[in-house]
Amino acid sequence: MAESIDKQARIQVIGDPIEELPTSIDRVDQWDIYKYPSVLVNVEPARQDEILLKIRSDELRRLQPVFCVSRSKMSDVLSDGYLEQMRHRIPSIIEKLSLLHKTPHPEPLDLLAWYCWPRSHFHLTPVWSAIYQKGYRYPLLDCLVGIEANLALMRAVEHHLLLPGKLIDRIRLCRNCQSGRLNYVDVCPECNSIDIHLKPGVHCFVCGYVDDQDVFIQSGVMKCPKCSTKLRHIGVDYDRPLERYSCYSCYIRFIEAVVKARCHDCGEVQSPDDLTVSTISEFQVGKLARQIALEGSHLLHLPLAWGAPITVDHLPWLLQWTSSNQNRYGGDNTVMLIWLSNLSEVKIDLGLLRVQERLKELVKRMQGIFRETDVVCQYSDDILILLLPHTSERVWEALRDRIASLSEVEGLDKLEVVVQVQALPVPEGKKAEDWLKEWISTVTHYDGDVS
């Protein structure tokens, strides 16, 4: 059996050899993927996790099939399974890896597609650790794309490369720094001091005096310190007030303490209701993973070919600068939003290549409408923002109608084009960035974050 496995699957062992695979190596850098496309890790759990992290971070080896003999913290997260699953899974993974549309400098979405599409068993699994600021991380994402992991995940879900699966947890994060390292403390509702104590009180029925129970105890007898009445029977001589807590800072008594959450990272103190609620899920292979893996993520972008292009980061500054000039010198300037509202659905129905052809035709027709001096920004994969200098209301209304009619052209009929305009300047006292996000959110129901 060992001979048949070795010839067909060509599996390298790292660590202790097994009966079916008697030869092994000690280090990841000794693994020749061209001679042995797959690897079996057989070491103690702590070292196994180190090896798995190293393999998935290695540009040469990160996509290869990796299996483990025993379980460890990272084995379900970074490996392709275990010894008993190896023979069944390796052929399919190797075959699909050979079909990938690889490029020298892949985008994060390309790397994700290259990894997940060949694996029908793929699940992107979160891991909890106190060292992570939010408590949870996706180690595979960290290995494949590094510091771009969060943005890559958001874009992968947006483009149907990944689909949310099983809900793992629901966490609360600091509203200021998004940290999950929070401490919940009871504080005084009057002065917010944490120096509060649970102390039973006593209310004398004779004179109405109220104080801590300790004050009423004299020589082991319950006695009012104000009127000297002996308090023998609760409900007859005295009762206990609802206020159970005492504050040692402002000396008030109160019924219930107020709960505050204090962030250990930034020090922000906030109510639990003000915390950001975040869901933590597993993810599985999405509908467009195959097309991105075989054709490339560049097909997700609008093929811009006119005007003066500008980045998303620079756009708010330009809008603010244009508004300032307009306030000072007058004139008409307009911002136009073009939203392909059903682009994701059309990509799934028609495929990336056919959609890209239609987008090229759409952009070609737009090129004949706009001027070279108009500034164009691809705000997201389905939104264009244009700054149209010296454009009056009469002109931009005509432009809006012409663009909206483009979707009626044969071949573009499945694309729904939404066009909205806003005249500058930005309202006084408002930042251009906030104004732009609010407007986009109103039109598209997006949350305003850049994809």
Q: Is the pLDDT of residue 342 over 50?
A: yes
- Whole-angstrom distance, CA of residue 314 vs CA of residue 320: 10
Which of 351, 348, 350, 342 has the alpha carbon at shortest distance from 407? 342
User: pLDDT tens for residues 79-104?
Assistant: 999 999 998 999 999 999 998 888 88
Last residue of a domain, one of 75, 98, 121: 98
From 46, 76, 98, the end of a domain falls on: 98
Residue 434 inside a domain? The answer is yes
* C-alpha–C-alpha distance, residues 90 and 67, integer Å: 9
Residue 215 banded pLDDT, cuts 50, 70, 90: confident
**Domain stop point among 98, 127, 143:** 98
Give the residue from 130, 133, 128, 127 showing the smallest Cα distance to 174.
Answer: 133
- Is the pLDDT confidence value at 18 over 80? yes
Domain extent for 75: 1-98
Residue 129 domain-assigned (yes or no): no
Residue 93 identity: I
Q: Which residues neighbour 354 within 8 Å (Cβ) at sequence distance 6 or greater? A: none
Residue 348 domain-assigned? yes
| Residue 326 belongs to a domain | yes
Residue 109 token pair? 């979405």
Domain for residue 113, yes or no?
Answer: no
pLDDT at 30 over 90: yes
pTM as predicted: 0.64
Number of domains in the chain: 2
Is 35 a domain residue?
yes
Using the predicted structure, report yes or no on whether residue 33 has a pLDDT greater than 80: yes
Highest mean pLDDT among 200-204, 267-271, 353-357, 399-403: 267-271
> For 278-392, where are the alpha helices, taking DSSP H only?
289-295, 315-329, 343-350, 352-367
Percent of the chain clearing pLDDT 90 (strictly above): 41
What CATH number should be reported for the domain holding residue 50? 3.40.50
Tokens at 398, concatenated: 């005509």
Between 448 and 156, where is the model more confident?
Answer: 156
- How sure is the predictor about 306, in pLDDT bands with cuts at 50, 70 and 90? low
27 falls within a domain: yes
Q: Is residue 360 part of a domain?
A: yes
Q: Which one, of 157, 134, 147, 110, lies nearest residue 282 by Cα?
A: 157
Confidence band (pLDDT; 50, 70, 90) for 273?
very high
> What does the angle CA 128 – CA 129 – CA 131 come to, to the nearest 5 degrees?
145
* Rounded Cα gap, residues 299 and 355, in angstroms: 8
The Cα–Cα gap between 158 and 111 comes to 16
CATH of the domain at 385: 3.30.70.270
**Higher-pLDDT residue of 105, 167:** 167
